[in-house]
A and B are shown apart, each in its own frame.
Chain A
């Protein structure tokens, strides 16, 4: 007699790499992303973070949404949707993009891969089938297909990532420049590798048909054994991306289509992403609102802060004065950075107050009692972690 799981409908889906990941997730620390079971961490968040900074580590990005957008109108359609000029994305190149509502409020960010003249892949954090369909309105020759379950994707990040892929037999991987796409034959199919990632370090993302996922994992882990390979989860990702000053949904921005309260979402200019908005290209969603915003200047600006002391400024308000009487912004993400040895944060601050003093009121707990400190913040222009190897081609030997 077969028994059926009465809770099957409520259980999380498993990614293509789950059979390997579950063995290594010693702490059973699972979270969820888009309905998939997804590791918060495997062994210890800080350990995994250091694997990213010191050796190499893999991040299961199967739950990330992937769409294949194909057809004669694919480029035009995407170009009307996102703020960047898609026509400028060369073959086998990737571009980071954002897309907005007609009011210029940001819906999501993601990456667009140009796989041929009329074929693209778009990846993003949240499902956006409906918005893609809406954006395709009026274009006859474009097909949109959700390929999230067809493609298994694994991000390999860290200084030994290139050496690991070379050892795996990916000849010529070292020639890939940032945002390049390369293809390698793999068990009769194709392994696509892009030099992309979400850690601000040297790294690659591997894209493979789902049925070859475990073969790829095994070969990668065999090659990486001598290069310190280790899986990492959401917690370590969040540390690394903050050092790289990359934004996260529900942290730095609230997706516009899920925002109830007026202007509790953001514009690309507020998020320091003005460089992604191209007013010279043909019309795109949100253009006139964004043009107005550009001329007027954003109300808030996302800033990088170096904060005194060593207690993370999580959830802190930012004030113009030490007495904390004039509130001018709020911290969106904060941490002690072990690699940089600094107390870092991203914060949304009213643009008009950026030139003055910045103070953060930090609360922290010590054996059940709350303490607070008011400490000075210094504006940083560059991301906190910017190793040269992330930009160099070929990358240096770790």
Chain B
């Protein structure tokens, strides 16, 4: 007899979203989390008294508004606030300020290049057109191109229609775009190197690719297709840190009668007669259920918690070779005051946003070279945000915390395993780089949390510390995500599903993977769908 209708493994935001929608449909669900806190990589923790870090993910744009609204996450305490004024730091004294106001932004670009200031309009128009098409696929299950089921054919026709509506020329462009490198793509538009570097940086985040690697232009798109309140490409902060997102979704799970258990790591998925029937916990407890949903990445799911003998031929190998290379580290720093950066006006709005230490395309590519050689970058690319400039709840008044996303940092070092000393040396390289733009920065440091891919894998369970649960390259996207033939959330073991970022549409705090998986599960269980449609209709 089943105790539960559904077990969801992993209380990351997608697992929680999945549980919320299943519970809303009346299913008896339990979410099992190995840590003593929930949230996975959308988490806020107070590691030093008075400071709340967003330990992993730090900004939000992909969270689907339709889900936010449907699960009433505002009532569960979630408020997303857009932030302003990112500054791109060039190699020397060059600064590119991303003003919020269109006129001001244009004048700032013009200061660097009249040509590029104009070209930016065309660039943003093209990118918006591409992202509109992708956005329409987010909350839909990818069709299986080999299937003749009416639903798959209907979805394929939907896609074909969207493609044709672009116009003939754009279809060629689109295919080109998907396979190009970010740097080459940007060459079509811009001449100024700092502008190119600033625009290219979303193309490498979370991915073991360089700005010159084919495929990085799609990653760029992935990072600009989100929105905050309809403003496409905008990024926001969750008030209280990214954990506020997971906590609000957990509130929705509880509201619909779902259960969440922490300190409940799953050892093994129980499979009988090729059907998943429950799980065994690390403490030996057995929990049975009608279905099992894994929010872990594909590699971890099929190489760690499902027995190889329970899998059809070839799946274990596919999982083992799933491309999930870690490329980034995260350094969270508590500061006793607001850091001042050189070459910037004393403008109250400019330091309300983020800092991108990109340098030039060349600098970014050299940083990638280090990763290829199994070392962290000696002159890293850093994307920083100071959430406390905006959010009064995450640091004591007048004090701040700075989130630093660092590329590149390899999961395995050429000179042997990660050690605490090497981790700290990696952290030091980050401080050194920031300090070169902010003299005295080091003196402001109150506390630091340094996370290499090693820590991220150990704590959060993301294989190799890959933030997307598998790279967002074309071979692992859409109906091929995570594996060809398994793009519709149903896994090779009957009654087993996946709901994490290893599934379509991939990484980012979007809640979409969890919601899409719930819709498929409810179809299989012949329950009424509780997952809303996306609200892009009027774009």
Contacts and interface: CB of A to CB of B under 8 A. Distances in A.
A47 B390 contact: no
**Ordered nearest first, which 7 A-B pairs have the shortest CB separation?**
A226-B398, A226-B397, A341-B69, A338-B229, A50-B81, A341-B68, A398-B392
Interface in A345-395: 364, 366, 371, 373
A248 interface: no
Interface in B68-82: 68-69, 73-74, 79-82
B239 interface: yes
Given A311-B538, A371-B538, A43 B349 contact: yes
Contacts of A167: 397
B35 to A, nearest CB: 27
Interface string A233-267: 00000000000000000000000000000000000
A243 B65 CA distance: 18
Interface residues of A, number: 31
A372 B531 CA distance: 25
A227 B82 contact: no
A227 B392 contact: yes
Contact of B100 (A44, A55, A373): A44
Given A54-B79, A310-B538, A338-B229, 6 more contacts: A43-B349, A53-B79, A228-B389, A336-B229, A340-B74, A341-B74
Contacts of A336: 229-230
Contact of A54 (B349, B391, B398): B391
- Interface residue tally of chain B, by bracket? 20 to 34
Nearest to B71: A341
- Which of B65, B100, B397, B535 counts the most A-chain CB atoms under 10 A from its CB? B397
Contact of B538 (A160, A340, A373): A373
A54 B82 contact: no
Interface of B: 65, 68-69, 73-74, 79-82, 84, 100-101, 228-230, 239, 349, 389-393, 397-398, 535, 537-538
A184 B239 CA distance: 33
A27 interface: yes
A336 B349 CA distance: 25
- Which of B74, B239, B391, B392 counts the most A-chain CB atoms under 10 A from its CB? B392
B349 A398 contact: no
B391 A310 contact: no
A133 B393 CA distance: 50
A54 B392 contact: yes
B535 A309 contact: yes
Given A226-B397, A227-B397, A341-B74, A309 B101 contact: no
Contacts of A47: 82, 84, 100
Contacts of B389: 228
A11 B257 CA distance: 63
A121 to B, nearest CB: 32
A320 B271 CA distance: 55
Contacts of A342: 69, 74
Given A47-B100, A339-B74, A54 B537 contact: no
Contacts of B398: 225-226
A386 B79 CA distance: 13
